[in-house]
Amino acid sequence: MFLSKSFYFALFTLSVPVMSNSQNNPVQSGCTAPTTQVIAHRGYWDTHGSAQNSLASLEKADEIGAYGSECDVYLCPDGELMVFHDPHVNVNGTMREIERTPSTVLRQAVLANGETMPTFAAYLDKFKQCKQTKLIIELKAQKIDKRESETLAAKIVEMVKRTGVEERVEYITFNRDAMLKLIELDPEAKVAYLTGDLSPAEAKAVGCTGIDYSLDKMKQNEHWFREAREAGLEINVWTVNKADDMRYLIGQGVDYITTDAPELLQRILRNYPMQPKH
């Protein structure tokens, strides 16, 4: 029987494997890039011209496209809110306790880059100019009582809303009174607890949207990674500056890593192997 050339051509085409788009594209073939986001701890301060909790550190976090720039906010006895991390600061050669010193004195404190300690109002004004980063606000309530802690939360929420940036702000705190007041005042806001003495289920029960625990705490309780995901909580881990620890947490699928080395974390994320979709 005579077989035409077209028959042989059709037979050949059927025998050759077709290279689909999914084989060329690892994302389409069931793999995905890590979704972990970068939060610059106290802003991006470990770079030229910057300092911890300075206006420059916020600006530089925005410039590198960090998901978030974290800052620390205290309530002063005169009712002003100031941005700084440590409980004490050197003002003209004298150590001052932030929570017991008027803002007029604290504004004289000079940061490592030559800026003076910023008010929270000035920080929000600078943040309004940022194009990419979110502001991760830590409420520092160390030696103040419950009433003052709640006042701190109320003042921050009021100023954030008055500035019109509430959609771009998230909150974290070690202080449970401040945390509960935040949740009460802005039920739509993202609020994460820092202390690490609540399980994911307990954090969920009080109204948190996430846990934000130390690397050591999460390594001691590795089951919390799974439990937090099952509870629908976001996971942030602090303060992570070593490459191996960053890779470990990316492998755990955390949502955020807070770091003093945001550009290192960005490089690791760019080069991290694609992972199978679950």
Q: What distance in Å separates the CA atoms of residue 49 and residue 69, rounded to the nearest whole number?
A: 16
pLDDT in tens, 168-181: 999 999 999 999 99
**pLDDT > 50? residue 23:** no
Looking at the predicted structure, is the pLDDT value of residue 2 above 70?
no
Domain parsing of the chain, residue ranges = 35-276
Q: How far apart are CA 35 and CA 256, in angstroms?
A: 9
pLDDT of residue 29: 53
Q: Which residues in 25-56 are b (16+ Cβ under 10 Å) and which e?
A: eeeeeeeeebebbbbbbbbbbbbeebbbbbbb
Give the model's pLDDT for residue 69: 99
Confidence of residue 12 (pLDDT cuts 50, 70, 90): very low
Query: Lowest-pLDDT range, 18-27, 31-40, 81-90, 188-197?
Result: 18-27
What's the topology of domain 35-276? TIM Barrel (3.20.20)
Question: In the chain, what is the straight-line distance between the N-terminal and C-terminal CA atoms, in Å?
Answer: 53
Q: What is the pLDDT of residues 54-93, one digit of tens each?
A: 999 999 999 999 999 999 999 999 999 999 999 999 999 9
pTM for this predicted structure: 0.88
pLDDT range class, residue 277, cuts 50, 70, 90? low
Residue 274 clears pLDDT 90, i.e. is over it: no
Mean pLDDT of 194-211: 98
pLDDT for res 30: 63
Give residues with Cβ within 8 angstroms of 205, minimum separation 6: none
Percent of the chain residues topping a pLDDT of 90:
86
Flag whether pLDDT at 9 surpasses 50: no
Report the pLDDT value the prediction gives residue 167, as an integer from 0 to 100: 98
Q: What's the pLDDT tens digit per position in 106-141? A: 999 999 999 999 999 999 999 999 999 999 999 999
- Can you tell me the distance from the alpha carbon of 189 to that of 140, in angstroms, rounded to the nearest whole number? 18
The predicted pLDDT at position 278 comes to: 57
Instruction: Give the pairing of strands 234-238 and 210-214.
Output: parallel
Q: What pLDDT, in 10s, does the model give residues 90-114?
A: 999 999 999 999 999 999 999 999 9
CA–CA separation, 204 vs 71, rounded Å? 24
28, pLDDT greater than 70: no
Question: Considering the chain, what is the average pLDDT of its residues?
Answer: 92
The per-residue pLDDT for 15 is 44
SS3 state at 145: coil
**Rounded Cα–Cα distance for residues 126 and 18 (Å):** 55
